[in-house]
Structure 1
Amino acid sequence: MRALQAFARVAELGSFTRAAEQLRWPKATITVLVQQLEEHLAVKLLHRTTRRLTLTDDGVAYLEGVQRVLADIDELDGAVAQRHIHPRGRLRVDVPAAAGRHVIAPALPEFFRRHPEIRLELGSSDRPVDLIVEGVDCVIRGGLVHDDQLVARPLGAFEVITCASPEYLARHGTPRSPDDLEQHRAVNFFSSKTGRVFAFDFERDGLAFERQLAHQVSANDADTHVALTLAGLGIAQCPRTRVLTEHIAAGRLVPILTEWGAGRLPLYVMYPRNRHLSGRVRAFVDWVVELYRGKLEALGASPRI
């Protein structure tokens, strides 16, 4: 079993060193286990050079079977163990910074009351994460899912609001239609993955269209995006989270162009498709789905994508 685990992790990560780090075994142990496995099979599973490591044809075929075997054993162990013990161990999760600060962190005491034996490592970023290479168990991300290697479980969708600060509107006037935006400046949001600046979306009477607005400043973090809008640096389209709702209620931000919808931002929790969903990952995924359902219902928003 240890040899199969060692081979699978080396093959997935393309590195004995990274496999040793993730399994928390000495690198020498990983090397010996893989060598013994190759001797047992009497075939070469890996091509090793000073610069790279690749699978042989036999290695590719063997890895597919090994992954199935390990997943089946993990599932069998989990099914028996979960009757007697709670999920336990290290769990690595990456979430957008704003979600970590405003949603996940305040609710974690309840999660740990349910699952006191889980040790959570919570990364906060909006950057793309390679879950296999970085050893991350699951991520929360907004927007459409384009990676078919991931299972994406929907958390819900936030209504998007077009808004600006009262100070900005006092200086530049209030646009009455999307066509008026050509005379205005935006606080744009750009993709951490591609650097692409997202256009403004509008829909009315079944017609959907986009407007690309000029900006002096743009952001790739939700909290920073809202802060720049509060500072009067332009018009923005932001998901109607609890924080945004509070700014609007206090008069710090003003919804505009309300006759035109701006769509919705879907949110997902995702994990690798080819990795068995362990008890601790399942516990977190189920909890975060429940958490966001409650948050969206409190905002009067739809928890459905």
Structure 2
Amino acid sequence: MDRIDAMRAFVAVVNEGTFTRAADRLDLSPQLVSKYVSQLEQHLGVRLLNRTTRKLHLTEAGSRYHQRASQVLDDIEDMENQLGDLQTEARGKLRISAPVSFATRHMAPLLTDFQNRHPAVDIDLQLNDRKVDIVEEGFDIALRIGHLKSSSLIARRIAPVRLVMCASPDYLARHGTPRSPEDLQRHRYLRYSYIDMDTTGQEHHWLQANGDQPGADLVSNNGDVLVEAAINGAGIALQPSFLAGQAIREGKLRIVLPEHEPAPMALYAVYAHRQLLASKVRSFIDFLDGYFGEPPYWDRFD
């Protein structure tokens, strides 16, 4: 008995509901499918199915075996597909979830360069600052920023994400430059408020560790708004350098309290770990590796 063929026959019978439909799906005779299932039961020493003239019923052992056997067969198929993908071009639709501000500022050149190299891949990019459920919502990859907690997902670190305290030269000329975190109490503070993002927690813990939290004169759940407000002299903001970096290079913003910067976070590519990677996913993750540079180009302003 070929154990894999017998396992495949049993799973097909359960999924299809009858030996006849399972045989059609496997392109085998119903007699051979029945023989495979009987041999499997004899090998395992348990009854997997109770057969009647009208319906098949899974035993308790059959139900457990079906669950595990389905997973084993899926893993085998994924492995074979992966090996096949090594010899084929990346193709198909790649669904990506990414944070709004990061994607708006930095994803378009990346996606263009990737598709120039892999023209058979179509991309569906969805922007959302919440943490999407990759499996439930059908995404291949999610880009996330922060300090990731342990989970059942695989995360590939793509680039560091630096947080900088910054304000416009005009604001600092009018209100003075803070020399210590405690000085922030005397300044207008622009706070990021999106509660589900790791950036918010990083900001909160940094402020707690460096003196009393200043009152927020402007609160927004969008970092771009806070950066633009800072450029226009509204106050001081703690924002990722991928948002504030261009304004810092152009002299529109200045970094304050650089010696008190929070520990850097990171940009990660996150994907489901139970499935072996399709060529389109593996190609995109490999393409991301090193794309932004080390340090990333948005940090080249010091």
Q: TM-score, normalised by structure 1?
A: 0.71
Q: How far does residue 111 in structure 1 lie from its aligned partner after superposition?
A: 0.7
Between the aligned partners of 1:185 and 1:57, the Cα distance in structure 2 is 66
Tell me what 1:172 maps to.
175
Between the aligned partners of 1:258 and 1:268, the Cα distance in structure 2 is 24
Tell me what 2:70 maps to.
66
Tell me what 1:201 maps to.
206
Between the aligned partners of 2:225 and 2:64, the Cα distance in structure 1 is 45
Distance 1:93 1:33, change over 3 A: farther
Kindly, what percent of the aligned residue pairs are identical?
Answer: 28
Letter in 2 for 1:285: I
Tell me what 1:239 maps to.
240
Structure 1 residue corresponding to 2:110, chosen from 104, 107, 110: 107
Between the aligned partners of 1:65 and 1:233, the Cα distance in structure 2 is 61
Distance 1:42 1:95, change over 3 A: same
Distance 1:298 1:35, change over 3 A: same
Structure with more of its chain in helix, by fraction:
2
Between the aligned partners of 2:190 and 2:282, the Cα distance in structure 1 is 38
Structural mapping, 1:68-147, within 5 Å: 68-83=72-87, 85-147=88-150
Moved more, 290-299 or 73-82: 290-299
Asked if structure 2 preserves the Cα contact closer than 8 Å seen for 1:200 and 1:213, the reply is no
Letter in 2 for 1:125: N
Q: How far does residue 260 in structure 1 lie from its aligned partner after superposition?
A: 2.5
Asked if structure 2 preserves the Cα contact closer than 8 Å seen for 1:164 and 1:255, the reply is yes
Asked if structure 2 preserves the Cα contact closer than 8 Å seen for 1:162 and 1:255, the reply is yes
**Uncovered stretches (5+) of structure 1, i.e. residues with no partner:** 9-31, 44-55, 203-207
Local SS of the residue matching 1:175: coil
Between the aligned partners of 1:194 and 1:109, the Cα distance in structure 2 is 27
Asked if structure 2 preserves the Cα contact closer than 8 Å seen for 1:186 and 1:214, the reply is yes
Between the aligned partners of 2:205 and 2:268, the Cα distance in structure 1 is 22
Tell me what 1:47 maps to.
none
Does the alignment pair 1:283 with 2:264?
Answer: no
Asked if structure 1 preserves the Cα contact closer than 8 Å seen for 2:168 and 2:253, the reply is yes
Letter in 2 for 1:63: Q
Structure 1 residue corresponding to 2:17, chosen from 21, 32, 36: 36
Distance 1:281 1:63, change over 3 A: farther
Q: How far does residue 220 in structure 1 lie from its aligned partner after superposition?
A: 3.0
Between the aligned partners of 1:120 and 1:33, the Cα distance in structure 2 is 36
Letter in 1 for 2:219: S
Distance 1:246 1:194, change over 3 A: closer
Distance 1:297 1:234, change over 3 A: closer
Tell me what 2:274 maps to.
274
Asked if structure 2 preserves the Cα contact closer than 8 Å seen for 1:162 and 1:262, the reply is no
Local SS of the residue matching 1:199: helix
Larger radius of gyration: 2
How much is the aligned-residue C-alpha RMSD, in angstroms?
3.4
Tell me what 1:26 maps to.
none
**Uncovered stretches (5+) of structure 2, i.e. residues with no partner:** 1-6, 23-47, 51-59
Letter in 2 for 1:86: E
The total of aligned residue pairs comes to 254
Structure 1 residue corresponding to 2:159, chosen from 152, 156, 159: 156
Local SS of the residue matching 1:291: coil
Distance 1:170 1:63, change over 3 A: farther
Q: How far does residue 277 in structure 1 lie from its aligned partner after superposition?
A: 1.6
Local SS of the residue matching 1:292: coil
Tell me what 2:188 maps to.
185
Tell me what 1:249 maps to.
249
Between the aligned partners of 2:271 and 2:18, the Cα distance in structure 1 is 29
Q: TM-score, normalised by structure 2?
A: 0.72
Letter in 2 for 1:253: L
Moved over 3 A (4+): 32-35, 37-43, 56-65, 194-198, 208-211, 297-301
Which deviations, in whole Å up to 9, do the C-alpha atoms of 1:220-249 show, x marking residues without a partner? Answer: 3332332232233321112222x5232113
Tell me what 1:258 maps to.
258
Q: How far does residue 37 in structure 1 lie from its aligned partner after superposition?
A: 7.4
Moved more, 216-225 or 272-281: 216-225
